[in-house]
Structure 1
C-alpha cells in the first residue's frame, strides 16, 4: 500500500541538522505514527513520503520554508522581569506560554539580564535546514474516526 492522504503511516526517523548533529530520533524508541495529509508532520517530509510504501528508506532534506519556517526577528523581544513574577528562577532554555495578539504562543528564554528577559517566539528549529533519514515501517488505511479527528488513535 502506498502512502497517500488518509493513510496512517508509521516511520522510524533520525533528524539531523546540516552539521550532522542528531536533533531527534525514533530509532531506539517506538516509531512515529501520523495521519498523512493532515499536517501532522512538516510539509517537506510529508511531501517526500507520498507514494512510498512499507520497507522504503529515504534521505530527505527539508528547507526552512517546508520545515518550521524562517526565523522572524520580530518574535525575539526583551520583556520586563516582572512578567515572570511567581517563578523563582528563570533560566536560558526555559519555555513558557505567552499571550500574543493571535492567542497563546510558546516562547523560549534566550537571555536573562538584570533589566529584562529576552524571549524568542520562533520554533526552536525555525531557519534550520532539516535532514531526515526515514524508514517506512507500515502504511494502513485510517479509520473514519482518525480522519475526522485529524490524527492517529
Structure 2
C-alpha cells in the first residue's frame, strides 16, 4: 500500500505554475524539486491542500482561487514615495522592481507602477495578488522523517 501525503509530511514536488491566461509565472523545471512540510505554512494554502492524498509519482492539476493564493490586491499596499528620496543616480521607470525597508528593518519587494513629476507610485502587493493560480504538481518523494529511538 503506497503512502499518501498527509498533514505534517515533508514532501518533494515538481511544479509548474500558470495564470488563467496560460502564462507561466514559476516552474521547478531544471531545478531541484521544491521541498516543504505539508501544513507548515511554507507554501500558499491552496498548494498545501493540493498535495494531500497524493502518492509518489502522482501528477495533479490544482486550481487555487485568489483567496487561497496571495489574496486580493490591497489599496493600502500602493505607496506614493517622494522622488527626492531615491538615490540621485537612479532613474525610476514603470515596471522596475525594488527592495524597500519598512520601519522595523524588514525588506520587501515593490514594483514601480507610475512615475510622476515629484513622486513615484509603488505597489507592495505580492506580484501574484489578485490572481487565480493553476499548478501542475508531480509528487517526487515523501521524505522519511527520522524517528529517534532512545536506548
Q: How would you bin the TM-score normalised by the shorter chain?
A: 0.7 to 0.9
Determine which of 130, 138, 142 is the counterpart of 1:139: 142
Q: Deviations over 1:74-101 (max 9, x none)?
A: 2112211122235523333222123258
Q: Is this contact kept in 1: 2:99–2:107, CA < 8 A?
A: no
Alignment CA distance shift 1:50-1:84 (3 Å): same
Determine which of 127, 135, 141 is the counterpart of 1:124: 127
Determine which of 110, 114, 118 is the counterpart of 1:115: 118
Q: Is this contact kept in 2: 1:64–1:130, CA < 8 A?
A: yes
User: Once the 2 structures are TM-superposed, how far is the Cα of residue 127 of structure 1 from its aligned partner?
Assistant: 0.4
Corresponding residue of 2:67 = 65
* 2-structure distance, mates of 1:142, 1:7: 8
Alignment CA distance shift 1:119-1:143 (3 Å): farther
Secondary structure of the residue that 1:19 maps to in structure 2? coil
* 1-structure distance, mates of 2:5, 2:91: 47
Q: Is this contact kept in 1: 2:110–2:123, CA < 8 A?
A: yes
Q: Which has the larger radius of gyration?
A: 2
Determine which of 39, 42, 46 is the counterpart of 2:41: 39
Q: Which runs of 5+ in 2 are unaligned?
A: none
Secondary structure of the residue that 2:102 maps to in structure 1? strand
Secondary structure of the residue that 1:48 maps to in structure 2? helix
Q: Which runs of 5+ in 1 are unaligned?
A: 145-153
Determine which of 47, 50, 53 is the counterpart of 1:48: 50
Query: What is the alpha-carbon root mean square deviation over aligned residues?
Result: 2.1
Say which is worse superposed, 91-100 or 37-46, in terms of deviation.
Answer: 91-100
